[in-house]
Amino acid sequence: MERISLKVLLLSIMLLCIPFAYSQGVEPGLDFDTAAPLDLSTGSASINGSLTKTFEDNHYYMLTGLKSGVQVSITGSLKGIEPGLTTVSLYSPTRARLIGVDQVIGKNIVKKIELRYLLAYDPANPGENKLYVRIGKSSGSLNYTLDISIEYFFDADSGRDAGATMKDAIQAPSISRDVVTTFRGYLAEKEYGNDYSDYYKLNIDLQPKDEIYIEVKPEPYLMVWASLLTPDGFSLRYNKSESKGEPLTLRVRGDWKTGVNTFYLAIENMGGAGGGGGYTVKVEIHPPKIEDTTATSFAQTQTSPWPFLGQENIRNIIIIISVAIVAIAIIVIIVRRRRRVIRVEEEWGGWSTGESWEGGWEETL
């Protein structure tokens, strides 16, 4: 019985020490350099504290364990002890303010806090990222209680956000003629993230005259534009939503090489002005219709009266004939001009036979 009581006592002491140790681990910093680290790789963390001292106007926390495609959410409340201007703000790794709430809180007044921010892919920092949270006041005093959590919005199930350039594009699922390929992506609304553009690399198994059909369907609060690009950045097709939630389509038919062809799909929301949310991309390959194939074959038969010469030789013969026609035309023009000059000279010469005329005048005198 004594052993059981001793175990219960030790367990109680350990449970009491856990919150004490946790609170010691998140002791807030007074500036960016001393910000207390909060590891969000586990999914969430909670912070609470007070700004009551005269020369203690800010508490700083550093959020770690973040990466692109992660949305950080901050919810909670501030309670005024003495009236004053307060702020809860989120900062980038370079300590630039990203988003925040600034408000005056009166004595014993409770204000709710809701912030969210979606992180885009950063080529300069492709791995884990970090952000800073600042709780501050310019006057008065307050208590705060905040819950910080993360939510994953990875593009095409890639484990990260799609980059904003062709160089940083992520690989979309492979696409073939017999399968309808779909994948999802996400974009941030302006001021609620910096993810405004997604690029995907598409490997499509094609045959000549196949049609690439792409449909982009945004969620109700999102409007996007999309472009299908060649590997050198040339836009094959472009389209955009006319309103939020309206899908768009891209259709391209070409004389593709047989096998896997590479393209890039760009999807953007006009710098965040088109709203935020998810979208679904559907890609299909439509083979050419039978009548199109028949018409193409007939046209090829009709345009090749001398199949033994080959297309290249026929083109060269046509060029030579065209040059000869132009040369003949030039010669004809030159000959006509020379004849006209000779005729004019003859006419002027007949009128100016003044020697005999003058001689005849003298004889009369």
Count of C-beta atoms within a 10 Å radius of residue 116: 18
* pLDDT tens per residue, range 188-218: 999 999 999 999 999 999 999 999 999 999 9
Q: How far, in Å, CA of 62 to CA of 134, rounded?
A: 9
Q: How far, in Å, CA of 207 to CA of 254, rounded?
A: 9
Tokens of 44: 């969430």
pLDDT higher than threshold 70 for residue 343: no
Q: Report which of residues 8 and 146 the model is more confident about.
A: 146
* Cβ 271 vs Cβ 188: under 8 Å: no
Count of C-beta atoms within a 10 Å radius of residue 219: 17
Name the pairing type of β-strands 141-152 and 225-229: unpaired
Model confidence band, residue 20 (pLDDT cutoffs 50, 70, 90): very low
Longest dimension (CA), the chain: 172
pLDDT higher than threshold 50 for residue 246: yes
pLDDT higher than threshold 80 for residue 301: no
pLDDT higher than threshold 80 for residue 247: yes
* Cβ 208 vs Cβ 285: under 8 Å: no
Residues 6+ apart with CB under 8 A from 118: 69, 70, 71, 153, 186, 188, 192, 193, 194, 195, 276
pLDDT value of position 78 = 97
* pLDDT tens per residue, range 105-140: 999 999 999 999 999 999 988 888 899 999 999 989
Q: How far, in Å, CA of 65 to CA of 191, rounded?
A: 22
Weakest-pLDDT range from 77-91, 244-258, 282-296? 282-296
Please report, rounded to a whole number, the percentage of residues in the chain having pLDDT higher than 90.
Answer: 67
DSSP assignment, residue 342? H
Count of C-beta atoms within a 10 Å radius of residue 342: 10
Cα distances (angstroms) measured from residue 170 to each of 26, 63, 70, 198, 270: 36, 26, 16, 9, 20
Mean pLDDT of the chain: 84
pTM over the 0.75 mark: no
Weakest-pLDDT range from 91-95, 246-250, 272-276, 323-327? 323-327
Tokens of 197: 């553009």
pLDDT value of position 119 = 97
pLDDT value of position 312 = 63
Cα distances (angstroms) measured from residue 91 to each of 96, 149, 307: 5, 16, 71
* pLDDT tens per residue, range 266-291: 999 999 999 999 999 999 999 998 65
Q: Report which of residues 129 and 308 the model is more confident about.
A: 129
Model confidence band, residue 336 (pLDDT cutoffs 50, 70, 90): confident
